Amino acid sequence: MKCGIAWPRAALRHARIALLCIVALNCVGAAMAGATATIAPTQNPDSNATANPTANPIPAPTPPSRQPPFATRCTDLGGVWLDSDTIALPTHGAHVESATLISAQTPGNGAGEFCRITGLIRAIKGTTPDIRFDLNLPRRWNGRALQVGGGGYNGTVVTGIGVMPFSPMRAPLAQGYVTFGDDSGHVGNSSLAVFGLVDEAVVNFGYAHLKKTHDAALALIVRMYGRPPGRMYFAGGSTGGREGYTAMQRFPDDYDGVIADSPALNFSGVRLIGVRVGQAEYATPGGFVPPALLDRVYLKTLDVCDKLDGAADGIVSDIVDCRQHEPEIIDALRCHRGTSYAHEGGCLNDAQLSTLFVLRDGLRLPYKLAYDVSGYRGYNVFQGTRLNGMLGLGRDPVHQTSPTFNGNGYLFTQGDGYIRYFVAQDATFDSLKFDVLHPGRYQKQLVALSQTIGAMNPELGRFIAKGGKLITMQGLADEVISPNQTIAYYERLVDLYGDERVNGFMRLYMVPGFQHGGGAFIPSVDLLGALDNWVTRGVSPETLLATDIAAPTNGRSRPLCRYPMYPRYLGKGNLNDASNFACSEP
């Protein structure tokens, strides 16, 4: 988007609609009040980067001669209706339920004064839940907007108010970003898949809520400030990461940059492998692996692979070299004839190892999902991934009728709900009896769902051509979204567009020791600042600095290396200091 030169066609259309509505309501759209516009819209107050003279800066708004106070403009948004023409996808319009001025002195508010909007987007069918959204409009606007993604099966409104993993030092709202998010069109926590019985709700969850919320928010932004954002970003992780890729694939004209962490790109694939894991644990005698044995697996991988990167720091960084030691690790874990089960903390029988092999090997399907996808890449089970937590394989040796994260593990619980409600559309369906490889009459539904919800389409040419930028970060020890699936998608992009073109728009950072939000190393890194510098100044990110926020090792640092590189210890100096590591090729 070359702001100040030409607005995107969609932005112009929404701006015209919004401004016509403003006139009809005798509400004058205005830019920020001069007394409060202390942050120049062309600057990122948290950036030390030198401006690129060839990049297009965000233009300062031209304030009208008379403008209502910010508080008045905020409260005037209360009760506003946006008709269906405001939103490019089919809806019955949008309604602002509340518009509240949040003062800078409000207890717990570190974002300065802002206008908090809550609203809903009306579904087409009366039996379909509406999409509920929040929108935050800062008094000191930096000219940018950030749409924030959800997690799991969504179901709760993403407020966009707090600190984000990709902007850890200050919340985006506190930096002057307009922020907004939604519940994707249903109510419930992230483990409930019941809405899969409602077709329109499935489409909303898959992709439509992104566009509908974007368009409604854009119209309200124009009402408040008198112009659209100079830059529109999207950021999210897991399901939110999938949403980020979906935004690029389906709505490339709407976004200038995306942060998509640990993205659930192959949504059907990760649900299907979850079912296979549950079947290995509960439909196979002796297949359940208790937490104590999963810890044994993890500790053995550390024992063999931790020092391969030159540092004994509790992190397996050299995944490629570690994989060469996998036979040795498995042999040490296996129960051999005459071996005591309690020997050195326990051993794994063949059925238990087979359960882990399901995760390691991934899925190879004899049929194709959307976008020529025929499986799901496996996990780094024997390369430092810990599987004994709530997000791992669960703690209950007995299959529960209604699985839970803690009891039966995240992968199986989510996969079970997917098969019941999305695929079979039968709440009583037994997913342990579902044939993943030969789904029979359910195959057509599986393929259709992978088109609606998945984000495996490699066609990003339009996003690339407009100058869009993408940053993806994921843990190499992720136990929910396979890091190898994310790498496979990246490699597919390279095959399609070539190294040079992919390098021009994408950065992939794979983090050793990082799991799905936890792990031996939990990185805190300003990805939003890196993305904004790239988009607005042309400063492409390379090696970044990541600070560990894991409780036992809080404060240590490592270089965040571009894939396929990893941080390798230089052989001397403090192990907790990133300056003593270098990014190395495997």
Assess contact for 134 and 157: CB atoms under 8 A.
yes
Q: Is 184 a catalytic residue?
A: no
Nearest-angstrom CA–CA distance, 548 and 559: 11
Copy the structure tokens of residue 528. Answer: 């939003």
Q: Going edge to edge, which strands form the sheet with 523-524? A: 523-524, 544-548, 557-560
Question: What one-letter code names the amino acid at 250?
Answer: R
Q: Is 220 helix (H, G, I), strand (E, B) or coil?
A: helix
CA-to-CA separations, 407 to 33, 390, 482, in angstroms, rounded: 54, 8, 21
Copy the structure tokens of residue 493. Answer: 């992009």
| Cβ-proximal residues to 443 (8 Å cutoff; 6+ apart), any chain | 367
R_g over Cα of the chain: 25
The dihedral through the CA atoms of 137, 138, 140, 141 has a sign that is: negative
User: Of residues 309, 416, 478, 532, which has the active-site annotation?
Assistant: 478
Nearest-angstrom CA–CA distance, 573 and 582: 12
| Cβ-proximal residues to 128 (8 Å cutoff; 6+ apart), any chain | 185, 198, 200, 201, 204
* DSSP per residue, 444-506: HHHHHHHHHT-------HHHHHTT-EEEEEEETT-SSS-HHHHHHHHHHHHHHH-HHHHHHHE
Q: What share of the chain is helix, strand, coil (3-state, %, to 5)?
A: 35, 15, 45
Question: What one-letter code names the amino acid at 552?
Answer: P
Count of beta carbons in the 10 Å neighbourhood of residue 480: 21
What is the number of residues in the chain? Answer: 586
Nearest-angstrom CA–CA distance, 272 and 358: 11
Q: Is 95 a catalytic residue?
A: no
Q: Is 516 a catalytic residue?
A: yes
CA-to-CA separations, 357 to 260, 273, 352, 363, in angstroms, rounded: 28, 11, 9, 11
User: Of residues 238, 317, 431, 584, which has the active-site annotation?
Assistant: 238
Burial class (CB in 10 A: 0-12, 13-18, 19+), 284: middle
CA-to-CA separations, 314 to 382, 390, 549, 553, 586, in angstroms, rounded: 14, 21, 14, 10, 19
Burial class (CB in 10 A: 0-12, 13-18, 19+), 26: exposed
Assess contact for 482 and 377: CB atoms under 8 A.
yes
Q: Going edge to edge, which strands form the sheet with 144-148? A: 81-82, 94-102, 114-121, 131-138, 178-182, 144-148, 231-237, 257-261, 469-475, 506-511
Assess contact for 93 and 81: CB atoms under 8 A.
yes
210's enclosing H/E stretch is: helix 209-225
200's enclosing H/E stretch is: helix 199-203
User: Of residues 14, 209, 399, 516, which has the active-site annotation?
Assistant: 516
Nearest-angstrom CA–CA distance, 236 and 243: 7
The residues carrying an active-site annotation are 238, 478, 516
